[in-house]
Chains A and B, each alone.
Chain A
């Protein structure tokens, strides 16, 4: 899997790695049990200090996304956790803030936004009913 880091990003490098790996696991691009690049390989590939890779892997292992097997390498867990609740909540908070500031800029008021949300919810509900048949690619 190809990772990319940017030192001037808001997140420190090790967190950028953590996020990309956990997202790849959640999105199915990294499969359970798949082998990850070693500290050394990833550090040379991304041109960052090996300690930074180690820090990212250590944290991911604590969260249960990956496992290190002595002498064999690092692998995606067989049962990785779903994207953490807190992370999801943080992302949603950010999205909500952006939605509200756009709405206020457009001259809408809070009740208008609530009305929009209700409409959107209804539409999504209808769509869900229609999509019931073919089934979704929820889990792989």
Chain B
């Protein structure tokens, strides 16, 4: 199956010598939902702009439906829907005017879906963008991004700046589209609970590279945290060398080590391989995993 979106060894820097992206490779398949995660400044938005042909990569290549978005932007945009992180719709235009403009651009415009979404979001077609709340403006942007029925939807921090209720409404609409259209979705987010709700897979950017690329259920069940009292294992390097260890860092008087494997497996493995007492292995939620992998020292190493 040809991937819907494919990044190959993407590199990009804004300042010479300090790359934001430094060899990013992954792909999104048909109908797949991928959450793009990473700390602030890890390059999520840069990568998304590269996918949309708004930025050139300095190295590597990107293809959407096998086509380069910088070489043939029109062909790509006909099949992709995109909602940017910040408000980019012209404030003086009304929703109806923007809809008319998009309908003119996209022959595949789905008028019933447009009406359904207007209704669902409770948007007045005559309202000007500048008079909408942040949540409503984001909903209008989503409507404009999906009514041409794209095969791939790219959402940059769709929940950013929204209150909890508006976030949930946005999520509900995304789920509805997922059910109705089977659209593939790539979305960046800082809300791990949202990622867990709609995501199937998580791609974690760190240090300009893909640090983690895994099925969410697998992450939940096949990765755990081992807490080792520092008094019984004074040497972090020793823990780090244990097979399956993904990261070790200090949290008060404990070493926190992220390990490959289910908690009980890792518990057994460590009992035989690590001369330490009082080791406890527990499962992690996505949010905790994110903190354990990236928290503490900035740009944590593995």
Contact = CB atoms under 8 A, between A and B. Distances in A.
Interface stretch (B133-141, B238-246, B279-287): B279-287
A56 to B, nearest CB: 10
Nearest to A14: B217
Interface residues of B, number: 23
A76 interface: no
Interface string B281-299: 0010111000000000000
Among B198, B221, B283, max chain A CB count under 10 A is at B198
Contacts of A14: 217
A44 B200 contact: no
A49 B197 contact: yes
Contacts of A55: 217
Interface string A35-74: 0000010011001111100010000000000000000000
B contact patch SS: helix
Contacts of B176: 44
A51 B197 CA distance: 10
B197 A12 contact: no
B127 interface: no
B285 A49 contact: no
A48 B175 contact: yes
A10 interface: yes
B221 A49 contact: no
Interface residues of A, number: 16
Among B176, B196, B217, B283, max chain A CB count under 10 A is at B196
B199 interface: yes
A48 B198 contact: yes
A35 B176 CA distance: 22
B37 to A, nearest CB: 14
Interface string A118-133: 0000000000000000
Contact of B200 (A9, A43, A49): A49
Contacts of B220: 12
A44 B179 contact: yes
B171 interface: yes
B285 A48 contact: no
A8 interface: yes
Nearest to B32: A51
A13 B196 contact: yes
Q: Nearest 5 pairs between A and B by C-beta? A: A7-B193, A12-B220, A7-B196, A40-B179, A48-B197
29 contacts: A7-B192, A7-B193, A7-B196, A7-B197, A8-B193, A8-B287, A10-B285, A12-B216, A12-B217, A12-B220, A12-B221, A13-B196, A40-B179, A43-B178, A43-B179, A44-B172, A44-B179, A47-B168, A47-B171, A47-B175, A48-B197, A49-B175, A49-B178, A49-B198, A50-B175, A50-B178, A51-B33, A51-B200, A55-B217
Interface of B: 33, 168, 171-172, 175-176, 178-179, 192-193, 196-200, 216-217, 220-221, 283, 285-287
Interface of A: 7-10, 12-14, 40, 43-44, 47-51, 55
